Amino acid sequence: MRITRAKLALLIAFSAVGLVASAFVLWQWYIERQTLPYCTVGSTFFGLSFNCARVLGSAYSTVFGIPLEFFALVYFIVNLALVWSFAFGSDRLSNFAFRALFGWRFLGIVLVPYLWFVEFVLLHAICIYCTIMHGAIIADFVVITYLLFWKHGPREPSQEVETTANADG
């Protein structure tokens, strides 16, 4: 394995949280056509209402008729596949996945400010589930950037084994 179990667990956890949130919204809102739990809170926060229906029912919630949550679901699945490929793939696949991870995460992090602009400025509403997805994207970007790029850089499998062996003995 090219990364420690702790790093792998963190990266999988962030994607899993985003995946669950996006799948839940897709199922509950778009397929079952039901209101999401905890989405209509009577209070406001800095002039913004907690109202998923306003966000998910807006013209900004789809692209070419496809819900943004579908794109989020695909994003988190690809994210998981890249992490898994980096950790367990062949050397060639791992190298590709490592380079693709940062680019893929950069795409996600670039979209979050636009989505915030739509929620905060245009709709004056916050969707709790969208916020969970945004948080997962941001946390994932920060952690992968720090753990894999700045702190240690990419490691070869032999280096990981040597580090573990030195720590044990």
Residues forming a β-bridge with 51: 40
Q: In whole angstroms, how large is the CA radius of gyration of the chain?
A: 19
The pLDDT-based confidence of 102 (bands split at 50, 70, 90) is confident
| Domain ranges (residues) in the chain | 5-168
Q: Say if domain 5-168 classifies as CATH 1.10.1740.10.
A: no
* Assessment of whether the complete model's pTM goes beyond 0.85: no
Beta strands at 40-45 and 62-63: parallel, antiparallel or unpaired: unpaired
Mean pLDDT confidence for 98-113: 88
Look up tokens 């966000």; give the residue. Answer: 55
pLDDT of residue 151: 57
Q: Give tens-digit pLDDT for 24-81.
A: 999 998 888 888 887 776 667 778 888 888 999 999 999 999 999 999 999 999 999 9
The pLDDT-based confidence of 165 (bands split at 50, 70, 90) is very low
pLDDT of residue 158: 41
The rounded distance, in Å, linking the Cα atoms of 4 and 113 is 31
| Helix axes of 5-25 and 128-144: crossing angle, nearest 10 degrees | 160
**Amino acid identity for residue 32 in this structure:** E
Q: Give tens-digit pLDDT for 1-30.
A: 777 888 889 889 999 999 999 999 999 988
